[in-house]
């Protein structure tokens, strides 16, 4: 198989989940290599990741083709590469205006919401108490919810994802769905339905099963 996806501890690695869902959506087979995160002794985690990418972070995608190995790092870059190589998967909307909006939403998630990330870290397999939220965190949650509601209303379809069919925008926000589930963030009915569709994706359920195993084994 041409693809090898290097991921971090699944219960924690929101960045790894995104390209995993994109690859899963293509139906293409791929190999996974798991690197345990938060191994602090002698910088063990970073040293292990650097065997695959000089960036020292997961995820990393290795593509083997015609005797050549291409390394792609960064979750959004990996998702873009997958979409480009597999246009049949429809990972971006067909309409240019919707595609531009989907890219903007994806980029906003990629570079933003620092307080949300800080206070509501991904803990995929657990249910946790909601901490006292900073005003900035509350503002960022409200921004995400309003953008979801707007996209769902503007691009309503039987598939029920942010831009009709499943897209990279959904991949980028899937870890937020897990965070809102873990911490019991109150949401509207439309958002609850959307989160349910994301949660029941085969890729999300496979990730959940692997995360639960990590917790049981004391890895996470």
User: Domain range holding 140?
Assistant: 92-203
**100 and 147: one domain?**
yes
- More confident position, 56 or 205: 205
In this predicted model, what pLDDT tens digit does every residue of 146-175 receive, in sequence order?
999 999 999 999 999 999 999 999 999 999
Among all chains, which residue has been given the structure tokens 């890219």?
Answer: 103
pLDDT score at 1: 73
**66 and 19: one domain?**
yes
**64 and 109: one domain?**
no
In this predicted model, what pLDDT tens digit does every residue of 42-92 receive, in sequence order?
466 777 777 877 777 899 999 999 899 999 999 999 999 999 999 999 999
Looking at the structure of the chain, the number of domains it has is 2
Compute the distance between CA of residue 15 and CA of residue 84 in angstroms, rounded to an integer.
Answer: 19
**169 and 106: one domain?**
yes
Residue 54 lies in a domain: yes
pLDDT score at 42: 47
Residue 61 lies in a domain: yes
Yes or no: say if 24 and 203 are a contact pair by the CB < 8 Å rule.
yes
CATH code of the domain containing 43: 3.40.30.10
CATH code of the domain containing 175: 1.20.1050.10
User: For residue 41, is pLDDT > 70?
Assistant: no
Of 88, 118, 142, the domain-final residue = 88
pLDDT score at 18: 98
Q: Which helix (H) or strand (E) holds 137?
A: helix 135-154
């Amino acid at each position: 198989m041409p693809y090898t996806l290097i991921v971090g501890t699944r219960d924690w690695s929101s960045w790894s989940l995104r390209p995993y869902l994109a690859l899963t959506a293509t139906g293409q087979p791929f190999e996974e290599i798991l690197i345990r995160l938060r191994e602090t002794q002698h910088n063990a985690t970073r040293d292990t990741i650097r065997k695959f990418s000089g960036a020292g972070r997961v995820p990393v995608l290795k593509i083997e083709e015609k005797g050549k190995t291409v390394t792609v790092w960064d979750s959004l870059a990996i998702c873009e590469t997958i979409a480009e190589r597999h246009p049949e998967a429809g990972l971006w909307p067909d309409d240019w205006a919707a595609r531009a909006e989907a890219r903007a939403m994806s980029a906003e998630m990629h570079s933003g919401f620092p307080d949300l990330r800080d206070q509501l870290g991904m803990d995929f397999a657990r249910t946790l108490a909601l901490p006292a939220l900073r005003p900035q965190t509350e503002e960022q949650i409200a921004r995400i919810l309003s953008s979801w509601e707007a996209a769902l209303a503007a691009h309503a379809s039987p598939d029920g994802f942010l831009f009709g069919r499943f897209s990279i925008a959904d991949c980028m926000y899937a870890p937020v769905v897990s965070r809102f589930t873990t911490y019991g963030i109150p949401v509207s009915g439309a958002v609850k339905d959307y989160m349910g569709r994301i949660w029941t994706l085969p890729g999300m359920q496979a990730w959940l099963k692997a995360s639960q195993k990590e917790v049981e084994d004391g890895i996470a």
